[in-house]
Amino acid sequence: MPHLTAGQLIAVSTVFIAAELGAIGWAGLKLAAHRATDVRIICYLFSLASASTCLGAIWAQNVGGVDSKGAFQGQLGSSINSFLKFMLDLDSDVKVFFTILALIVFPQFLSYLLAGLFGCASAPVLVGRALSFFVWSLVKAFVTVAGIILTVALYGYAHSWNGWNLGGVVGMSILSFMLLLVAFFILSTYREIGNDITDIDPSTEHMRAMRRVIGCVRAWLTRNVRNVRDQ
Q: What pTM does this model have?
A: 0.83
Residue 112 CA to residue 124 CA, distance in Å, equals 7
| CB contact at 8 A, 76 and 124 | no
Residue 79 CA to residue 81 CA, distance in Å, equals 5
The residue ranges of every structural domain in the chain are: 6-199
Q: Is 24 helix (H, G, I), strand (E, B) or coil?
A: helix
pLDDT value at residue 186:
93
Q: What b/e string do you get for 5-27 counting C-beta neighbours within 10 Å, with b at 16 or more?
A: eeeebeeebeeebeebeebbeeb
Rounded to the nearest 10 degrees, the angle between the axes of helix 36-63 and helix 74-87 is: 160
pLDDT digits (tens, 9 = 90+) for 196-216: 555 555 556 666 777 788 778
Least confident piece of the model among 127-141, 148-162, 206-220? 206-220
pLDDT digits (tens, 9 = 90+) for 8-62: 767 777 888 899 899 999 999 989 888 899 999 999 999 999 999 999 999 998 9
